[in-house]
């Protein structure tokens, strides 16, 4: 997909949803950080479009993929867990926090919020 194929409003909405999801996930006890995947690195083109449309720098949404589909947004989060926390409990808490935070921030329903624990940090 080329930048010219993207509808600017779509990009803005996806970034807004990803920002709300990232902020909510980072606030959950047991989340050390978010970690971008390969797709997140490739999506830099969409971020460039966001910056051109809004005139603002893209917020820190590394580790969150947001895709607008008919009827809502699908979110995919990659978290790094603090050692000493139970992955399933933290993952469920992140999912709940994201489901609560994104609709009011982005004005769109969340169709799916998938949380992946990609690493455990023992500091």
Q: What is the mean pLDDT of the chain?
A: 87
* pTM reported for the whole predicted model: 0.83
Q: Residue 92: name the closest of 117, 111, 71 by CA.
A: 117
Q: Can you give the pLDDT at residue 2?
A: 43
Domain coordinates in residue numbering, the chain: 3-121
Helix (H) or strand (E) holding 82: strand 72-82
Which CATH architecture best describes the domain 3-121?
Answer: 2-Layer Sandwich (3.30)
Confidence of residue 4 (pLDDT cuts 50, 70, 90): very low
Confidence of residue 91 (pLDDT cuts 50, 70, 90): very high
Confidence of residue 1 (pLDDT cuts 50, 70, 90): very low
Q: List the alpha helices (DSSP H) in 1-123.
A: 8-26, 38-42, 44-54, 87-106
Distance CA 22, CA 44 (A): 17
5 pLDDT more than 90: no
pLDDT (tens digit per residue) in 8-37? 688 889 889 999 999 999 999 999 999 987
pLDDT greater at residue 23 or residue 51: 23
Mean pLDDT over 70-77 rounds to 93
């Amino acid at each position: 997909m080329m930048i010219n194929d993207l509808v600017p409003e779509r990009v803005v909405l996806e970034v807004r949803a990803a920002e709300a999801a990232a902020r909510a996930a980072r606030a959950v006890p047991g989340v050390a950080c978010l970690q971008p995947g390969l797709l997140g690195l490739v999506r830099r083109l969409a971020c460039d479009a966001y910056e051109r449309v809004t005139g603002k720098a893209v917020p820190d949404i590394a580790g969150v993929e947001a895709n607008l589909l008919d009827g809502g947004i699908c979110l995919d989060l990659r978290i790094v867990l603090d050692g000493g926390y139970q992955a399933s409990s933290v993952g469920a808490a992140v999912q709940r926090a994201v489901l609560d935070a994104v609709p009011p921030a982005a004005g769109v329903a969340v169709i799916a919020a998938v949380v992946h624990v990609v690493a455990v940090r023992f500091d």
